[in-house]
Amino acid sequence: MEYQELKTGIKDHLNSAAEDFFMVGYFLRQISEKALFVEDGYESIWEFAKGEYGLSTSSASRFMAINARFSIDGGEHMAEKYIGMGVSKLQEMLGLPDEELEKVTQETTVREIRAMKAAKREKEQLSFYGLPRTVRPEGSLLTTPGCGDGKYDCFFCCRECAIRQEPRQCRTAPLGSPAPCTRVNNEDWKRSIAYSLYKEECQLLHPELAPVREGDKEPDPCCLHCEHKTCFNRCDVAKKRDEEERKKAQEEERQRQKEAEARRPEPSERDIKAFYDWAGIKATDNITADGLKSRYKNAGGGGGQGAALQDYTGSARGIRINYKKELTWVQLAKRIKETQEAEARKANFVERSNGAQKNVRDLIKQQEEKRQQEAEEKKAAQKQKEDGRLLKFYKDIYPSTRHIIAQRDKAAITKEFKTIYGNTYENGKGWMCYPDKIVFKDSPDAEQIQITWGRFTTKLVELLDRFPETEKSILFGDDTREKEPEIIDADFKEIEDEPKDDPAQELAEAKDAHEELDNLETQNPEIVEDPESYTLADVREQLRKCEADLKAYREVGGMPEFTLRKQKIFVDALQLLAEKKEFDEKEAAEID
């Protein structure tokens, strides 16, 4: 039967007829022999009987002894001979030996059973050793009770004896105040232990199993020597010793745990953050010690080895995280609040950092757009300048080539240019001719532009096709300058309204105009700022920003190592660059 069924059976039979005490004894024996009472926190069957049903130790012991003595094979069924006998009669019958027990019938009264027990005691006149009771003469100084004229005394003897004068003394009692052993010559105890789980190993029933004294070599049985601490027949002295040993062991275990706890490391910030994330705590949550205790005091869990939160275990005192030293709930609440503040600072920094990065990206985008615009403007200016030089060259040489150019035969035009101007030719007008190309250079310090004859012809024809007014002005001398595109140099001289008959005169006038343009460009050279150049102030400004970012990374904490390392490299590199730039500027100032 299960433990709960046994408990329910005891309750039902206690509330029923008085004869059911026999079944109560059976259930108590089952619970005692299997030590099931420990499941409810009891240390003995007597505590169980008292705590659960209000039964005294003597009552529980009698019920168990009656069941054991008068049942069939110690089971739950009473022998037919004893059915109908009251509890008082059966209780008295416990003291009868088996041969006397056979004489008892349903008609035998309690008084007759007591008389049978008294007659038995009168017949037994010898001790265990077959010796008569020691009788001291009147006035003798020796008064120790025993047998065999003082050979054995009752004080130390544990043997079964019919003439015992006084009980054996408890071995732990002081001589000045001796206490009797409650187990020797105790009929109730003998009946109870005779049917217990440990009856074959009991030293009091089997003295040969007990240790012997050194002096008289007699057995010295005692519950203190017995290793069966769960025996319900154990004496009070042994129970008290057991309790003291149990408390001592518990205290030693508590001390050991306390010392082991002191050796544990404190939970790290990473441990607290692991629990913080696992529990789903937010930076805005209101954290209190009582709130944490009510939620996690009976909880436990974790992700096992390798996880950030390997294990946590809560208790009424506090919580242990990742097998580290236990924190009280107040300490845990404080650590979690610190984590909340750190998370809030980190989120604020990330937000500011994202905003700063967006501003940087926008600035870079604006700078890139500006560079592209400047590059396009520069390219357009370069093309305008190149187109102006092509037209200027055309003006210089048009008298001899105007008819073939007007026909737009690029191959013929190219051949004509090579034939007339193919040899190295420098006329001081800003262009030089070679067999394969023509080179433009307005001044010695100006940028040089070179172009092959074939490409020159193609670009010249395309330019004249796009701006026919320019070709007309050059060929016929019409006043069309207001219609010319912006790409044509404004410093070119207008062609006379009337064409000159003398080609030499026209060539000289064009040469004078070209020289005048070169002088103007020399006096006002175009200043183009290099977009990739920078000053010491630019370097210092970037250094200041990088140092501020590095400081913010350190204050917030939790940033990846590679991010901090990269930011530190930027700061060190800019510091070196600033020192070099400052040195270069000082050196240049000293030279000037």
pLDDT tens by residue, 132-185: 888 888 888 888 888 888 888 888 888 888 788 888 888 787 766 778 888 887
Does 275 reside within a domain?
A: yes
Domain of 518 in residue numbering reads as: 392-455+469-523
Does 204 reside within a domain?
A: no
Task: Note the pLDDT tens digit of each residue in 29-59.
Answer: 888 888 888 888 888 888 898 998 888 887 8
Of 565 and 312, the structure prediction assigns the larger pLDDT to: 312
Please say whether the dihedral angle defined by the alpha carbons of residues 419, 424, 426 and 431, taken in this order, is positive or negative: positive
* Residue 432 and residue 318 share a domain: no
pLDDT band at 514 (very low <50, low <70, confident <90, very high): very low
Please say whether the dihedral angle defined by the alpha carbons of residues 584, 585, 590 and 592, taken in this order, is positive or negative: positive
pLDDT band at 384 (very low <50, low <70, confident <90, very high): confident
Domain count, the chain: 3
* Residue 518 and residue 540 share a domain: no
Do residues 182 and 236 make contact, with C-beta atoms less than 8 angstroms apart? Answer: yes
Maximum mean pLDDT: which of 309-313, 488-492, 584-588: 309-313
What percentage of the chain exceeds 70 in pLDDT?
82
* Residue 514 and residue 480 share a domain: yes
CA 483 to chain centre: 80
Which pLDDT belongs to residue 426? 62
Does 342 reside within a domain?
A: no
* Residue 408 and residue 294 share a domain: no
> In degrees rounded to 5, what are phi and psi of residue 471?
-65, -40
Which pLDDT belongs to residue 80? 83
pLDDT of residue 427 exceeding 50: yes
Count of beta carbons in the 10 Å neighbourhood of residue 218: 14
Which pLDDT belongs to residue 401? 65
* Residue 567 and residue 498 share a domain: no
List, as one string, the DSSP characters of 541-570: HHHHHHHHHHHHHHHH----HHHHHHHHHH
Task: Note the pLDDT tens digit of each residue in 281-299.
Answer: 998 899 999 999 999 999 9
* Residue 585 and residue 560 share a domain: yes
Q: Rounded to an integer, what distance in angstroms lies between the CA atom of residue 185 and that of residue 159?
A: 9
Integer-rounded Cα radius of gyration of the chain:
61
* Residue 438 and residue 398 share a domain: yes
Q: What is the pTM of this model?
A: 0.35
Q: In terms of C-beta distances under 8 Å and separation of at least 24 residues, what long-range contacts does 213-219 make, across chains too? A: 213/156, 216/156, 218/156, 218/157, 218/158, 219/158
Do residues 274 and 309 make contact, with C-beta atoms less than 8 angstroms apart? Answer: yes
Q: Rounded to an integer, what distance in angstroms lies between the CA atom of residue 181 and that of residue 499?
A: 157
pLDDT of residue 349 exceeding 70: yes
Q: In terms of C-beta distances under 8 Å and separation of at least 24 residues, what long-range contacts does 429-434 make, across chains too? A: 429/392, 429/396, 429/511, 429/514, 429/515, 429/518, 430/389, 430/392, 430/514, 430/518, 431/389, 431/393, 431/396
- What average pLDDT does the segment 546-575 reach? 80
pLDDT band at 484 (very low <50, low <70, confident <90, very high): very low
Does 291 reside within a domain?
A: yes
* Residue 508 and residue 421 share a domain: yes
* Residue 510 and residue 571 share a domain: no
Contacts for 484 with CB less than 8 Å, ≥ 6 apart: 467, 469, 470, 473
Does 289 reside within a domain?
A: yes
Q: Is 318 helix (H, G, I), strand (E, B) or coil?
A: strand
pLDDT band at 336 (very low <50, low <70, confident <90, very high): very high
CA–CA distance from 354 to each of 346, 349, 547, 569 (Å)? 12, 8, 17, 21
Does 281 reside within a domain?
A: yes
205: left (phi over 0), alpha (psi -120 to 50) or beta: alpha
Across the beta sheet with 312-314, the strand order is 300-301, 312-314, 318-321, 327-328
* DSSP secondary structure letter of residue 425: E
* Residue 519 and residue 396 share a domain: yes
* Residue 485 and residue 427 share a domain: yes
* Residue 508 and residue 399 share a domain: yes
Of 18 and 271, the structure prediction assigns the larger pLDDT to: 271
pLDDT of residue 510 exceeding 60: no
The last residue of one of the domains, among 325, 348, 373, is: 325
Does 191 reside within a domain?
A: no
pLDDT band at 478 (very low <50, low <70, confident <90, very high): very low
Does 244 reside within a domain?
A: no
